[in-house]
A and B are shown apart, each in its own frame.
Chain A
Amino acid sequence: MTTLAQALPRRRTLSLGWIRRYVLTVYAALALVYLFLPIAIVVLFSFNNPAGRFNYTWQGFTFKNWTHPFNYPGLQGALTVSIKIAVLSSLVATILGTLIALSLVRYSFRGRGLTNLLIFMPMTTPEVVMGASLLALFVGRGVVLGFLTIFIAHVMFNISYVVVTVKARLVGFDRHLEEAAMDLGANEWTTFQKVTLPLIAPGIMAAALLAFALSVDDFVITYFNAGSTTTFPLFVWGAARVALPPQINVIGTAIFVVAVGGMLANIIFQNTRARRAGLAKD
């Protein structure tokens, strides 16, 4: 320990600072490991080679699930539907929810308390009654059940989550920055565009991710309002009665890899662009 203490430059903050720095990183790493522990099993079992239809115990290694991931008719279609709905519904829900959050935090108006209440209510309602009641509405109206109704349902339950998440960001937002922009001659719209929006962007991004996750994994509400359309969770739950092919693991892993890969590529691309811009300036 003495050698280390000598080796490290003395800093103004307490000398235990470096331990603290690494403790936090180690903890974060462990937390991510915890989050991914079951995923590791899922990935592992995507290489499993069961003789039967279930994928419960390890039976041997194979690549054939990866070379034929769509062996089950309906699996690919279900996946496509899930992704499309998740992207669309999280997009719409994020926009609608952000607008609501802005109005709730920035303005005091009559009906604010009631609005807050209405935002919380969908989250408190058990999925089975919410799904069935919505179905009753669609049926009573003669709406054809399918992609559209699933989309409507997903936006509906996602709005609340977006509002609460974006509010957390807006509440701590420093209004002085906006005031400064306006003092410098920007009108409200420009201020919003160039000051507010970029600063609350992380909040909006997080809300969109949350909405996406909720949509892609939803089962009960989707089940009632899907008509004959099948989403990925519906397919899995349905198939599970007679089989759990490793292809399901393959699909799950693949989506995850594609998403992470895409994000990584985006970051690297932006880093390169920033670096080039920085170099260009010099």
Chain B
Amino acid sequence: MTDLDLTVTRRQLLRRAAAGGTILTLPGLLAACGGSSSSKKATGSSGGGKKQLAKTLYFSNWPLYIDINEKTKTHPSLAQFTKQTGVKVNYVEDINDNDSYFGKIEGPLSQGQSIHKDIIVMTDESGLPQRMIQLGWLEKLDKSAIPNIKNLIPAQQHPSWDSNRDYSLPWQSGMTGIGYNPAKVGGEIDSIDQLFDDPKLKGKVTLLTEFGDAIGLTMLANGDDPAHVTKAGFDKAVKRIKAAVDSGQIRQFTGNDYAPLLAKGDVWACMAWSGDLVQLQADHPGLKWVQPKTGAMIWTDNMLIPKGGNVYTASTYMNFYYTPKIAAEVEDYVNYICPVAGADKVLRKTDPKVANNHLIFPTKKMLDNTHEIDPNAVNNKKYKQQFQALIGA
């Protein structure tokens, strides 16, 4: 009952805030004039209410992030879900950047409108899942419909921003470390320090535009803890990066466009995502990915239920995904880090190469050496401003 009360109060607050704050803006005026006729107010969000599956599950995800059968051009795991539950899946790959996607959905959500999605997938490192929880834009999961939640790997069970996994469940994770070309570098690399200080690498190093990765890895190299960002630690990291940018040591700040540069040899060492190297290694077996000895960052793309989504159906799907056999099917294609325990055992029989790849199924030792970024730091406007100024914008 307490849950119900809180939900209602938050919704009321939101509507009041939306009305007050946005009435002065034109869309607000227009909405007040009756534009919200098509908005679907939160249905089925009160826990314990209806336990009926919807006809269709509306699922937004990142492109090429689920298994594909290239011959039939379908997603086998989704077809299996439909067969098992009778729920059709409207699967759209329209998320390609956290901030951009958030910019797209914050309009309706801030006015209490539904975005007509049951599941969306966003990265914790962007700070946005935390933000959305704080803003009250997410529905709580129906854990009674997700008994398979017990399969969630221990390392992912208590993230700082959703310690009880009330609002989110991981879809895939990835590690950020150092990707490099041993032939060009002339040896091995295992520290971020080398990226910053080695004169041989001048102009051949790229860092990531992702706040969590760039600041996080640098802080670790400085001996600070990125899970608890202090002003001193932040400033130190910024100073270090700035010096390297000014001297020309850092060639560029990239999204995943470091991959072609690394493949072609224009970049010799960079901050890189583990999943990218798995793919690059298929064509360039010489390239390597390592965790810096001071620590790697780990980020997770989480399934979230936006306000207005059908909680029961979404939770049912999440439970389905957390079956080791299903997760293994998806993992076999996606090749990032699987959050479902037991998937590796399944894959050991069907695709041992993937099962034994430490970039896809990292060892406990590797996972212990990973860190998450403090989402409060990511959402801190001053830090964000400073970071953006650092990377040139």
Contact = CB atoms under 8 A, between A and B. Distances in A.
The reply, when asked whether chain A contacts chain B directly with Cβ atoms under 8 A, is: yes
A140 B30 contact: yes
A102 interface: no
Contacts of B95: 238
B70 A71 contact: yes
A25 interface: no
Interface residues of B, number: 51
B259 A56 contact: yes
A230 B92 contact: yes
Contacts of B30: 137, 140-141
Given A73-B75, A140-B26, A237 B282 contact: no
Contacts of A243: 64, 279
B66 to A, nearest CB: 10
B94 A234 contact: yes
Contacts of B278: 52
A54 interface: yes
B230 interface: no
Interface stretch (B33-41, B144-152, B217-225): B33-41
B264 A52 contact: no
A73 B27 contact: no
Given A56-B264, A57-B283, A241-B256, A72 B68 contact: yes
Contacts of B275: 242
Give the interface size class of chain A.
35 or more
Given A135-B107, A139-B107, A74 B63 contact: yes
Contacts of A71: 68, 70, 73
A241 B92 contact: no
A140 B94 contact: no
Contacts of A21: none
A140 B256 contact: no
A157 B104 CA distance: 19
B282 A50 contact: yes
B188 interface: no
Main secondary structure of the interface of B (DSSP, over half): helix
Contacts of A50: 282-283
Contact of A141 (B35, B93, B94): B35
Contacts of B75: 73
B77 interface: no
A31 to B, nearest CB: 27
A230 B93 contact: yes
A79 to B, nearest CB: 14
B291 interface: no
B50 interface: no
Interface in B280-330: 280-284
Contacts of A227: 94
Contact of A242 (B29, B60, B63, B113): B63
Contact of B36 (A142, A224, A239, A241): A142
A226 B107 CA distance: 14
A230 B94 contact: yes
Interface in A231-249: 234-235, 237-243
A50 B280 CA distance: 10
Given A54-B280, A57-B283, A139 B93 contact: no
30 contacts: A52-B278, A54-B259, A54-B279, A56-B263, A56-B283, A57-B264, A57-B283, A59-B283, A72-B68, A73-B74, A73-B75, A139-B27, A139-B107, A140-B107, A141-B31, A142-B35, A223-B100, A223-B104, A228-B92, A230-B94, A234-B94, A235-B63, A238-B96, A239-B63, A241-B255, A241-B256, A242-B62, A242-B65, A242-B279, A243-B279
Given A52-B280, A136-B25, A238-B63, 7 more contacts: A54-B263, A56-B283, A140-B107, A224-B104, A230-B93, A234-B94, A234-B96
